[in-house]
């Protein structure tokens, strides 16, 4: 009911820290900003397993009538991050109640700013030592899915989610009167040519066997119906599942935009957002074991899914330790849970949360044992 945007998760962090301490879990706060790290030590020797939940909300006005509807105007948990926090706290409760049987140590990573898209929250936490002291051996993350049926776990080995490179193309022309376009360099006309030409990167310049998306999602230019403006601004996103394709795509987008502008005597300035998230790559051997573990949870089903062109900064945790990112479906038409993530009408089937909590706890327990992957 009190959602907080990226880098502003102050009250959420306090709630998480308080709950962890009541479970007898040691807590470190202000990790990478507003992040929280809990550490639970098992009674037996073993590996260090990290479990992660993101905490931030989105700038969306909630249009769902639920008892816990957002009380903050223009902010809601439209991507289920509140459920991620709830499930990880549930896993912490389960594991703390069975610490005498637990091998190794479990780190609970409550991460800010996943929705930022650039710097994010994982990198600041990593830079602040979240994956060290003790060093993490395996890391796992769970996300709610509004497209998978309730009680279905979905995951895959290898590339799971895309790298989300965003771009701005500023087209600089020469403004003038709309009745005399021949005396101008019309950036609106040129921007239309650029948008069309960029689709050739997808269809003619990138290997068709490589998953790849380019979308121009925003065009801004002009102030009046009879004034040709001096500039136009295009903004969009590139989604790739392979680093080589990612490098090629950014190169082609830049060269096509500049070449098309040059052909019409305009100039293009192309800018890519720095620190975009890497591809989320699940460790194959770890993920195969995760599939086997999830399939032991009664009342659920586990499927191997196709790659998803959305993005996640959990990818940065996976660069520091082998692990798996997976989804839990919450699609349930009978309960009105039919909307996808980032929608103002996003609604979660709360009955699935217990399965998410259990899955995280089971992964921590099983991977805490030595020599679990071979």
pLDDT tens-digit profile of 308-325?
Answer: 999 999 999 999 999 999
Active-site residue, 350 included: yes
- Indicate if 151 and 40 belong to the same structural domain: yes
- Indicate if 285 and 154 belong to the same structural domain: yes
Span 137-165, average pLDDT: 96
Q: Is the distance from CB of 9 to CB of 112 less than 8 angstroms?
A: yes
Span 342-348, average pLDDT: 91
Span 82-110, average pLDDT: 98
Asked if the model's pLDDT at residue 20 lies above 60, the reply is yes
Going by pLDDT thresholds of 50, 70 and 90, the confidence category of residue 351 is very high
Beta strands in 55-102 (DSSP E): none
Residue 374: per-residue pLDDT: 53
Residue 274: per-residue pLDDT: 84
- For residue 106, which of 372, 369, 373 has the smallest C-alpha distance? 369
For residue 77, the Cα-to-chain-centroid distance in whole angstroms is 14
- Indicate if 212 and 303 belong to the same structural domain: no
Of 210, 235, 269, 350, the catalytic one is: 350
Span 162-178, average pLDDT: 97
The percentage of the chain sitting over the pLDDT mark of 90, rounded to a whole number, equals 90
Going by pLDDT thresholds of 50, 70 and 90, the confidence category of residue 372 is low
**CA–CA distance, 313 with 50 (Å, rounded to integer):** 15
Residue 130 lies in a domain: yes
Q: Is the distance from CB of 7 to CB of 54 less than 8 angstroms?
A: no
Query: Domain span at residue 27?
Result: 10-160+279-368
- Indicate if 17 and 139 belong to the same structural domain: yes
Pairing type for strands 152-155 and 212-221 reads unpaired
Asked if the model's pLDDT at residue 371 lies above 80, the reply is no
Q: Is the distance from CB of 13 to CB of 55 less than 8 angstroms?
A: yes
- Indicate if 260 and 323 belong to the same structural domain: no
Q: Is the distance from CB of 346 to CB of 64 less than 8 angstroms?
A: yes
Mean pLDDT of the chain: 95
Active-site residue, 231 included: no
Q: Is the distance from CB of 136 to CB of 46 less than 8 angstroms?
A: no
H or E stretch covering 310: none
DSSP-derived 3-state class of residue 45: strand
- Indicate if 34 and 126 belong to the same structural domain: yes
Structure tokens at 285: 């051997």
Span 335-339, average pLDDT: 84
Of 277, 326, 355, 365, the catalytic one is: 277
Q: Which residues partner with 145 through β-bridges?
A: 329
Domain containing residue 193: CATH number: 3.30.70.360
- Indicate if 266 and 286 belong to the same structural domain: no
- Indicate if 146 and 32 belong to the same structural domain: yes
Span 102-108, average pLDDT: 98
DSSP 13-29: HHHHHHHHHHTT-EEEE
Asked if the model's pLDDT at residue 370 lies above 80, the reply is no
């Amino acid at each position: 009911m009190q959602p907080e945007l990226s880098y502003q998760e102050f009250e959420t962090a306090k709630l998480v820290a308080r709950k962890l301490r009541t479970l007898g879990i040691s807590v470190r706060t202000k990790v990478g900003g507003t992040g929280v790290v809990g550490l639970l030590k098992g009674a037996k020797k073993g590996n260090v397993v990290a479990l992660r939940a993101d905490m931030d909300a989105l700038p969306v006005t909630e249009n769902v009538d639920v008892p816990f509807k957002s009380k903050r105007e223009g902010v809601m948990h439209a991507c289920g991050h509140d459920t991620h926090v709830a499930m990880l706290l549930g896993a912490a409760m389960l594991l703390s109640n069975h610490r005498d049987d637990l091998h190794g140590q479990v780190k609970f990573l409550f991460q800010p700013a996943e929705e930022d898209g650039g710097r994010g929250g994982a990198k600041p936490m990593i830079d602040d030592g979240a994956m060290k002291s003790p060093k993490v051996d395996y890391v796992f993350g769970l996300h709610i899915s509004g497209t998978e049926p309730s009680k279905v776990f979905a995951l895959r080995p290898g590339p799971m989610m895309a790298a989300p490179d965003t771009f701005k193309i500023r087209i600089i022309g020469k403004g003038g009167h709309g009745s005399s376009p021949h005396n101008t360099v019309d950036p609106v006309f040129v921007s239309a040519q650029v948008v069309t030409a960029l689709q050739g990167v997808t269809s003619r310049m990138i290997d068709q066997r490589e998953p790849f998306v380019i979308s121009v999602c925003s065009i801004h230019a002009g102030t009046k119906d009879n004034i040709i403006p001096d500039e136009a601004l295009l903004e969009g996103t590139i989604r790739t599942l392979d680093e080589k394709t990612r490098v090629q795509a950014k190169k082609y987008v830049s060269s096509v935009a500049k070449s098309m502008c040059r052909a019409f005597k305009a100039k293009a300035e192309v800018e890519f957002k720095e620190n975009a998230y890497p591809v989320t790559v699940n460790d194959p051997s770890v993920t195969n074991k995760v599939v086997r573990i999830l399939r032991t949870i009664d009342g659920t089903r586990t499927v191997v899914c196709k790659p998803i062109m959305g993005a996640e900064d959990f990818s940065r945790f996976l660069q520091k330790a082998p692990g798996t990112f997976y989804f839990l479906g919450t699609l349930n038409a009978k309960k009105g849970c039919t909307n996808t993530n980032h929608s103002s009408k996003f609604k979660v089937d709360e009955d699935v949360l217990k399965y998410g909590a259990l899955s995280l706890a089971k992964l921590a327990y099983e991977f805490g044992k030595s020599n679990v992957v071979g």
